[in-house]
C-alpha cells in the first residue's frame, strides 16, 4: 500500500510539473486567444473598399501571365477558410461572394493566367531568396507578383527570447538601427531576383505591414510583453517599404497598414482616431498576426484596385 501510494504521488508530481511547463509555454497564445475571441466582434458581410468593376470588363493582357505569390502567412492565407485567402480570392470568387464583385478576378482579365504559390507561413524576409524561383520565364511572360513580408521579422517570437534581426520583438530603437538597413537590402534583392526571373517584365504589388494595435502600441493589452519602441520600429519598416516602392518603377504599393487601422484590438472604441462607425469590427485572426475572412476580403479588394489601376485599359 505504501509503495503504491509513493508511486502514485510521484506520478502526480511529474504530471503537475509538466502541466506547469506546458501552461507556461502556451500562456501567451492562450491569453491572446481569450482576449480576442471573447471580446472583439468580427461582423459579417463584405469588408473593405469598393472595387471599380467596370475595369474588369475587358482583358488586361493576352500575354502569358504568371501570378507569383511570395512572402509570409498573410500571402499563404493562414487564418482564412478554404478558398478565402486574398490570393485565392484574386483568382476565383467563392460561392456566396459579394455580387458587386462578379467577374472581378485575375482569371477574368488574364485569360492565360498561371498561379505559382511560394509564400510560407512563419517566414521572415530572410526567406525571400528561397521563395523566388531561379529558372527564368521566357521573354513573352509577364510577371504579376504579390508580396507581404517583414511582419514576422518584427513580431516573432513575442519577446520570449532576446531580440535578433529576424525576431525583433522587444528590441530598442537603438538595437534596431543596425538591423533596418538589412531589411531594405533584402527588399532590393527581391526586386533584382524578380527581374532575372521575368526578363519580359514584372509588376510587384508590395504590401505595407499592418498594426493590430490600431496605432496605439499597447500590445500588452492582449497579454503579450510590452514593447515601448515597437510602433517606432514598425513605422521604420513601413518607411523602408515605401522607399523601396518609390525607387523601383515596377513596384506598386499596397497600403495594408492604412486599410487595417481601426480594425484591430481597438475596433470597438469610438474615441479612437481610426474608429470606423460603418464597420467597427475586428479583421484579424485569433493569432493577432493574420487576417480573418473579412480581413482577407478587404485585402483582396485593395489588391484588385491597385492592379486595375496599373493594368486596366485606359479609356
Mean pLDDT lowest among 19-28, 72-81, 203-212, 303-312:
19-28
Buried b (16+ CB within 10 A) or exposed e, 160-178: eeebebbbbbbbeeebbee
Lowest mean pLDDT among 130-134, 221-225, 280-284: 221-225
Q: What integer is the mean pLDDT of 250-254? A: 98
> Given the DSSP bridges, would you call strands 113-117 and 142-148 parallel, antiparallel or unpaired?
unpaired
* pLDDT confidence of residue 227: 97
**pLDDT at residue 29 in the model:** 52
State pTM to two decimals: 0.88
Q: Residue 292 and residue 290: Cα distance in Å, rounded?
A: 7
pLDDT for residue 297? 98
Confidence of residue 39 (pLDDT cuts 50, 70, 90): confident
Predicted confidence at residue 24, as pLDDT, reads: 45
Return mean pLDDT, the chain.
91
- Could you report the per-residue pLDDT of 70-127, keeping only the tens digit for each? 999 999 999 999 999 999 999 999 999 999 999 999 999 999 999 999 999 999 999 9
Cα–Cα distance measured from residue 183 to residue 192, given in angstroms and rounded to the nearest whole number: 14
Q: Which residue has the higher pLDDT, 307 or 13?
A: 307
CA 136/CA 139 separation, integer angstroms: 9
Q: In this predicted model, which residue has the larger pLDDT, 24 or 46? A: 46
Residue 69 dihedral angles phi and psi, to the nearest 5°? -110, 115
Minimal CA–CA distance to 150: which of 170, 124, 132?
A: 124
The verdict on residue 303 lying in a domain is yes
Nearest to 55 by CA among 314, 315, 312: 312
Q: Looking at the 3D structure of the chain, how many domains does it have?
A: 1
Query: Residue 35: its pLDDT value, please?
Result: 53
Q: What is the pLDDT of residue 32?
A: 52
Residue 234 domain boundaries: 40-311
pLDDT tens, residue by residue, 188-223: 999 999 999 999 999 999 999 999 999 999 999 998
Task: Write down the residue that cell numbers 493566367 correspond to.
Answer: 113
Q: Are 202 and 145 in contact (CB under 8 A)?
A: yes
Among residues 141, 49, 63, 48, which one has the least CA distance to residue 109?
A: 63
Residue 148 in domain: yes
Is pLDDT of 38 > 90? no
- Whole-number pLDDT of residue 314: 84
- Cα–Cα distance for residue pair 87/69, rounded to 1 Å: 7
Higher pLDDT, 190 or 22: 190
Contacts of 77 (CB under 8 A, 6+ apart): 84, 85, 86, 87, 88, 119, 296
Q: Over range 218-238, report the average pLDDT.
A: 96
Q: How many residues does the chain have?
A: 315
Query: End-to-end distance of the chain based on CA atoms, in angstroms?
Result: 91
Q: In CATH, what number is assigned to the domain containing residue 175?
A: 3.40.50.1110
Helices (H), the chain: 2-39, 73-76, 86-91, 106-109, 128-131, 151-155, 173-177, 180-197, 230-247, 256-260, 293-311
Regarding predicted confidence, which is higher, 19 or 52? 52
State the Cα angle at 180 between 178 and 77, rounded to 5°.
Answer: 140
Q: What is the pLDDT of residue 12?
A: 47
Amino acid at each position: 500500500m505504501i509503495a503504491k501510494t509513493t508511486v502514485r504521488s510521484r506520478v502526480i508530481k511529474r504530471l503537475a510539473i509538466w502541466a506547469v511547463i506546458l501552461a507556461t509555454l502556451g500562456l501567451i497564445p492562450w491569453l491572446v486567444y481569450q482576449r480576442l475571441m471573447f471580446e472583439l466582434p468580427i461582423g459579417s458581410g463584405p469588408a473593405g473598399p469598393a472595387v471599380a468593376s467596370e475595369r474588369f470588363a475587358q482583358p488586361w493582357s493576352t500575354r502569358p501571365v504568371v501570378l507569383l505569390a511570395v512572402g509570409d502567412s498573410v500571402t499563404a492565407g493562414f487564418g482564412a477558410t478554404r478558398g478565402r485567402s486574398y490570393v485565392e480570392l484574386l483568382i476565383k470568387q467563392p460561392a456566396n461572394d459579394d455580387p458587386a464583385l462578379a467577374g472581378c478576378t485575375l482569371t477574368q482579365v488574364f485569360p492565360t493566367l498561371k498561379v505559382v504559390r511560394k509564400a510560407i507561413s512563419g517566414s521572415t524576409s530572410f526567406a525571400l531568396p528561397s521563395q523566388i524561383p531561379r529558372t527564368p520565364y521566357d521573354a513573352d511572360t509577364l510577371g504579376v507578383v504579390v508580396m507581404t513580408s517583414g511582419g514576422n521579422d518584427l513580431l516573432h517570437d513575442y519577446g520570449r527570447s532576446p531580440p535578433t534581426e529576424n525576431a525583433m520583438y522587444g528590441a530598442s530603437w537603438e538595437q534596431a538601427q543596425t538591423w533596418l538597413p538589412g531589411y531594405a537590402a533584402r527588399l532590393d534583392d527581391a526586386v533584382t531576383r524578380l527581374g532575372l526571373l521575368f526578363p519580359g517584365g514584372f509588376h510587384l504589388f508590395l504590401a505595407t505591414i499592418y498594426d493590430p494595435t490600431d496605432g496605439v502600441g499597447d500590445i500588452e493589452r492582449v497579454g503579450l510583453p510590452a514593447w515601448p519602441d515597437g510602433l517606432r520600429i514598425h513605422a521604420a519598416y513601413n518607411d523602408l517599404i515605401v522607399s523601396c516602392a518609390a525607387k523601383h518603377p515596377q513596384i506598386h504599393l499596397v497600403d495594408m497598414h492604412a486599410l487595417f487601422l481601426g480594425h484591430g484590438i481597438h475596433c470597438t472604441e469610438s474615441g479612437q482616431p481610426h474608429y470606423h462607425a460603418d464597420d467597427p469590427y475586428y479583421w484579424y485572426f485569433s493569432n493577432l498576426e493574420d487576417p480573418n475572412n473579412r480581413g482577407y476580403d478587404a485585402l483582396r479588394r485593395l489588391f484588385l484596385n491597385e492592379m486595375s489601376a496599373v493594368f486596366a485599359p485606359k479609356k
